[in-house]
Structure 1
Amino acid sequence: MATTKEHPADRAPAARAGDPTLVLLTVEEAARRLQIGRTYCFRLIRTGQLESVPVGRLRRVPSEAVIAFAAQLRRAHQPAA
């Protein structure tokens, strides 16, 4: 019996969202990583709070942008020294 190697794109979307090797995330994957809703994620993109890039007719969020957004939230909510 031949074994086939699974392609990352063939995995379920929930499994892909946590894949640290992904460079560009769908809006749904970015929302899942941030543990927010899809609609709110689109609002963050529209207001420029979360970076995104067009890929043809698609919208993708760089994985680094998710990390940068979370870091920005942490800085904004740190108590004054």
Structure 2
Amino acid sequence: MATSPATALQPAMNPAQELLTVPQVMASLQLGRSAVYDLLRTRQLASITLGRARRIPAHALSDFIRTRLDQEAA
């Protein structure tokens, strides 16, 4: 089975490798921009910087939510 040239150049992204933008995280958590940046600044939510852009790995968002749920349950 041959792949098209465009497909061959794009890395296969699975959900664990998906990178989210700050607005996407804002929508997911239903928080404002400054609240999300506060989470990033305090390293409660992991991110990477690509040039001037901040990206949050989807697994980091899941880990953050899981951690908060565990803290609430304790």
Normalised by the size of structure 2, how large is the TM-score? 0.73
Indicate the SS of the match to 1:50: coil
Percent sequence identity over matched residues?
36
More helix by share: 2
Q: Which runs of 4+ in 1 moved over 2 A?
A: none
For 1:75 and 1:43, the matched residues in 2 are separated by: 21
The equivalent position to 2:73 in structure 1, one of 50, 60, 78, is: 78
Normalised by the size of structure 1, how large is the TM-score? 0.67
Indicate the SS of the match to 2:36: helix
User: Can you give the 5+ residue segments of structure 1 that lack an aligned partner in the other structure?
Assistant: 1-20
User: Can you give the 5+ residue segments of structure 2 that lack an aligned partner in the other structure?
Assistant: 1-14
CA RMSD, Structure 1 to Structure 2 (Å): 1.7
Match of 2:43 in 1: 48
For 2:63 and 2:51, the matched residues in 1 are separated by: 24
